[in-house]
Amino acid sequence: MVKTVGIDTDRLIVPDALRKQRNVADYSGDLVEDAAVAECIKQAKELMVLTETWLKRT
């Protein structure tokens, strides 16, 4: 069952990996690299556009 508003599962691999990295950092206290934060923001913006497009179609 797809639960990603029509977004391909492959498109969610990177954001999911970044989410896992953040969760580990929350518990370990390790810092998240600036590049990972920048990539997370980029991915979030792209997912926002995809979600808004999906909402307009429904």
Mean pLDDT of successive 10-residue stretches along the chain, which has 58 residues: 72 88 88 89 92 88
Instruction: Give the chain's domain count.
Output: 1
**Over the chain, what is the mean pLDDT?**
86
Instruction: Please state the pTM of the whole predicted model.
Output: 0.73
Task: Supply the range of the domain harboring residue 13.
Answer: 9-57
Q: In this structure, is residue 4 part of a structural domain?
A: no
36-54 burial: b if 16+ Cβ within 10 Å, else e: eeeebeebeeebeebeeee
Q: In this structure, is residue 3 part of a structural domain?
A: no
Q: In this structure, is residue 2 part of a structural domain?
A: no
CA–CA separation, 55 and 3 (whole Å): 14
